[in-house]
Structure 1
Amino acid sequence: MVALIIQGLIALNVEDYVGQSYHGTLLTIAVIAFSVIFNTSTSSHLPMIESVMLALHVFGMLAITIPLWVLTPNLSHASDVLLTFTNEGGWPSKELSAMIGLTVPFCALVGFDCSIHMSEEIQDASIAIPRAIMWSIAPNAFMAFFMILTLIFCIGDVESILNSKSKEPFIQLFYNST
């Protein structure tokens, strides 16, 4: 995904850029290579890096959402955002479309149990593991809900967002808002 975001930013900033599928592949290989080199060469410093990334995670969310709320020229009305349901995917009903749309948020709940698999290495695992899981889920759920509200109120014209040159809707949303 990072490689496609890079490719989308290039498409947005370079007028005559035409993205090819092999560009995304090469960028993906570069991102993976960077990740492997970074994780192997800085393994002794990973706890400190993770602490810095936690701060960036929280303050980065605020650094993204606050400008969107302030700079978006025409925020959507609450009735449009919260009470209007559409079925643009071609599914037989709005209900089925809504249920299929929920698969992405449900996937966010997969994988947090990885800490359970390492519980034999932790003292008082029956207390520490559930506490760690809840301390990771609760703040992230709150931040995700705030981010979702921000994006749906700032989205504007959905067709222009979906048909953007960057091929990444959130990049076009940021561009339109700022």
Structure 2
Amino acid sequence: MSGTTGKAKQDMKTLSSSAEDDSGHEIGIGDVQAVGLNKPFNIWSALGISFSVTSVPLAIGTYLSVSVGVGGSPVYFFGYIVSVVFNLCICASLGELAAVFPHSSGQVYWTAQLAPQRYARGLSYLVGWLVAAGYFFWTAATFLITSELIFALVQICHSQFTPLSWHYYLAYFAIGLWALLPNTVFFKWYPLFLQGLVVYINLGSLFILIVLLVRSSPKQTSEYVFKDFVNQTGWSSNAVVFFIGLLPGLTAINGFDSAAHMAEEMSEPSRQVPQVMFISTIASAVSGLPMILVYMFCITNPENLLDPVGGQPIIQLMVDSLRSLPLSIIGTLIFIICFACASVTLLTTFTRVWWSLAREGGVPCSKFMARISDSSQLPINSIIFSVVACSLIGLLELGSATALNAILGSAVLCIFSSYAIPISCSLMSKRSAFDGSMDSEKD
């Protein structure tokens, strides 16, 4: 742990007071509080969390239906590049905040430090709930996508089978129980699991890339991939269509703050967290680009992507392009395992966000939620609550799947809003908090 010793515990009032102290008193910044958690994560295991949360080279394929009518392949490809540039700027801003203010509550603490003292408490509370809601919806959405992938595999093998809503929910619930195990019972081996996960995602992506290039025929032309603009959205403005087409890239490369919420379980968070953020984002951006090109060139039946098997266009792409049941099964299993593992890491991030908010008194039953288990040194209550909450919202699948998808789709809006507030506060304060913190660390 670097820097000076911080306080052992703060509530929301203390956080806002810290922001108030920026204007007149020196405070300890860049420290992580000793709260009884072990420090099992190093830079590589934290990278496993950050990289697997998005799993860009594989996950970008789940948005393939957008490439059909929302601008076509050119918008899908060039929109991804534009999104990467914007996301790298956001990552750089958040990485600087994480280096100066390492804290498990991430944006909540950063906002409290950077916002004007009059608004610090209210803004930090708002940001806290935006982060919690974002990761809550994102975790639940990943449970749902994994369940859809499972039944897509079933439909590949048995085309006459039609899954019902309760089938999806049972698989959804099972994924939640699976995600619970590495976060509790098998947490001792969790860091090793995370390190292997980065290797798995890249090897799985390489397999998908190779088999698609080898088996897909005929391939699309370069004119189809880079030039043919298609607008079937109903919008008359092509500019609007282009901005809609940015969504796959903006959504796929996200979660920059996931490593920040592990700050109190890392030995040198002020150095390690920014490194993880940058490495993960750049690796995701670079690995996603060739996969997009392969996906675009290997689309053999674009219309099929609008009504794909199991509701997953990437599975439909493999069925159409690979023309082999065994290869399609292997490819689908790669995606299922990837998203099942992403469910684990997203649950980890959500539980740490919820626990850090509870520790600051920002959620109902804060004392109960903030409790650390004496035996495991884990926030067990917050972990169990997170699984229960995700399981409950998944019940909407039994009613309106459209309503559930709409709710879960708000995850990106919540998370990007939580990024915007501390970055805006930093700009409006003219980086005065950074100057003070740098001076104190030099001393």
Same fold (TM over 0.5): yes
CA gap of 1:39–1:9, structure 2 versus 1, over 3 A, is same
Counterpart in the other structure of 1:147: 291
Q: How many residues align?
A: 178
Deviations 1:117-141 (A, max 9, x none): 4446655544332222111111111
Between the aligned partners of 1:122 and 1:59, the Cα distance in structure 2 is: 27
Number of the residue aligned with 1:114: 258
User: What whole-Å deviation, never above 9, does each CA across 1:15-44 have from its counterpart, x for those lacking one?
Assistant: 221121221111101111121124322100
Aligned-residue offset at 1:165: 3.6
Match of 1:55 among 199, 204, 214: 199
CA distance in 2 between counterparts of 1:121 and 1:42 reads 16
Give CA-to-partner distance per residue, 1:56-80, whole Å, 9 cap, x none. 1111110111110111011110111
With the length of structure 1 as denominator, give the TM-score of the two structures. 0.89
- Contact 2:149/2:312 (8 A) holds in 1: yes
CA-CA distance at 1:174 after TM superposition = 0.5
Tell me which moved more, 131-140 or 88-97: 88-97
Match of 2:176 in 1: 32
Contact 1:7 1:166 in 2 (8 A): yes
Aligned Cα root-mean-square deviation (Å): 1.9
Identity %: 28
CA deviations 1:135-155 (Å, max 9, x no partner) are 111111111111111111111
Residues 1:81 and 2:225 aligned together? yes
Gaps of 5+ in 2: 1-144, 323-443
Matched letter for residue 111 of structure 1: G
Q: 1:70 and 2:214 equivalent?
A: yes
**Structure 1 match to 2:153:** 9
CA contact (8 A) 1:85 1:94 kept: no
- Aligned to 1:18, the other structure's residue is in SS state coil
CA distances 1:88-137 after superposition (whole Å, capped 9, x unpaired): 22223222112112123213343212333444665554433222211111
Give the deviation of 1:47 after TM superposition.
1.1
Q: 1:25 to 1:89 in 2, by over 3 A?
A: farther
| More off after superposition, 29-38 vs 59-68 | 29-38
Partners of 2:186 and 2:264 lie apart in 1 by: 26
- Whole-angstrom distance in 1 between the partners of 2:293 and 2:150: 25
Paired position in structure 2 for 1:94: 238
CA–CA distance in 1 between the matches of 2:200 and 2:253? 22
Give the residue type in structure 1 aligned to 2:221.
Answer: H
Counterparts of 2:275 and 2:309, CA distance in 1: 44
* Alignment-mate amino acid for residue 53 of structure 1: L
Closer, same or farther: CA 86–63 of 1 in aligned 2, 3 Å: same
Is the contact made by 1:72 and 1:154 (CA closer than 8 Å) also made in structure 2? yes
- Residues in 2 aligned to 1:120 and 1:51: alpha-carbon distance in whole angstroms: 19
The list of structure 1 runs, each at least 4 consecutive aligned residues, that deviate by more than 6 angstroms after superposition, is none
Distance 2:180 2:269 in 1: 30
Larger Rg: 2
Letter of the aligned partner of 1:112 in structure 2? F
Query: In structure 1, how many angstroms separate the alpha carbons of the residues matched to 2:183 and 2:153?
Result: 25
Provide the C-alpha distance between the structure 2 equivalents of 1:61 and 1:156, rounded to a whole number of angstroms: 20
Which amino acid is 1:115 matched to?
Answer: A
Comparing 85-94 with 136-145, greater Cα deviation is found at: 85-94
Q: Contact (CA 8 Å) 1:86, 1:94: kept in 2 or not?
A: no
Paired residues of 1:11 and 1:166 also in contact (CA < 8 A): yes
Moved more, 51-60 or 125-134: 125-134
Q: Distance in 2 between matches of 1:166 and 1:124?
A: 44
Moved more, 47-56 or 114-123: 114-123
Structure 1 residues 53 and 124: alpha-carbon distance in aligned structure 2, compared to 1, 3 A threshold: closer
How far apart, in 1, do the equivalents of 2:190 and 2:261 lie? 20
Residue 167 of structure 1: CA displacement? 2.3
Q: Does residue 41 of structure 1 match 2:185?
A: yes
Q: Cα gap change, 1:43/1:124 in structure 2, threshold over 3 Å: closer, same or farther?
A: closer
Question: Could you tell me whether the CA contact under 8 Å between 1:87 and 1:93 is conserved in 2?
Answer: no
Confirm or deny that 1:166 pairs with 2:310. Answer: yes
Q: Distance in 1 between matches of 2:252 and 2:186?
A: 28
The 3 A distance-change label for structure 1 pair 77 and 37 is same
- When normalised by structure 2's length, the TM-score is 0.38
Q: Work out whether residues 154 and 177 of structure 1, in 8 Å CA contact, stay in contact via their aligned partners in 2.
A: yes
5+ residue gaps, structure 1: none
1:134 paired with 2:278, answer: yes
